[in-house]
Amino acid sequence: DTAFMFVPSESVFAEIHENFEAIVHKAHRARVVIVSPSLLMLSIQVIQAILKDARMREQAHLIQGEVIRLMEDVARVDERVRKLQVHFGQSAKDIDDILVSTSKVTKRGQKIEALEFGAQPDGDAGADASRTPAARADTGARVADSKTGQLRLRVVEGDD
Q: How large a percentage of the chain has pLDDT more than 90?
A: 60
Residue 91 in any domain: the answer is yes
Sequence-distant contacts of 75-80: CB under 8 A, at least 24 apart: none
Q: Characterize the bridge pairing of strands 32-35 and 141-146.
A: unpaired
Phi, psi of 156 (to 5 degrees): -110, 120
pLDDT value at 143 more than 80: no
Query: CA 132, CA 111: separation in Å to the nearest integer?
Result: 25
Residues 68, 106 share a domain: yes
pLDDT (0 to 100) of residue 156: 66
Under the banding of pLDDT at 50, 70 and 90, the label for residue 115 is: confident
Whether 63 and 109 share a structural domain: yes
* Same-domain check for residues 72 and 109: yes
Domain residues for the domain of 11 are: 3-58
**Number of domains composing the chain:** 3
Choose the final residue of a domain: 39, 58, 77: 58
Determine the angle formed by the axes of helices 21-29 and 10-19, rounding to 10 degrees.
Answer: 90
Is-contact 153 119, C-beta < 8 A? no
Q: 63 and 110: one domain?
A: yes
**49 found inside a domain:** yes
Whether residue 160 is contained in a domain is answered as no
Give the pLDDT score at 114: 84
Residue 109 predicted with pLDDT over 70: yes
Mean pLDDT of 133-141: 49
Look at residue 36 and tell me if it is in a domain: yes
User: Whole-model pTM above 0.85?
Assistant: no
43 found inside a domain: yes
Q: Look at residue 144 and tell me whether its pLDDT is greater than 60.
A: no
Considering the domain architecture, whether residues 47 and 17 belong to the same structural domain is answered as: yes
Greater pLDDT, 134 or 20: 20
Domain check: are 67 and 41 in the same one?
Answer: no
- Are 74 and 39 within one domain? no
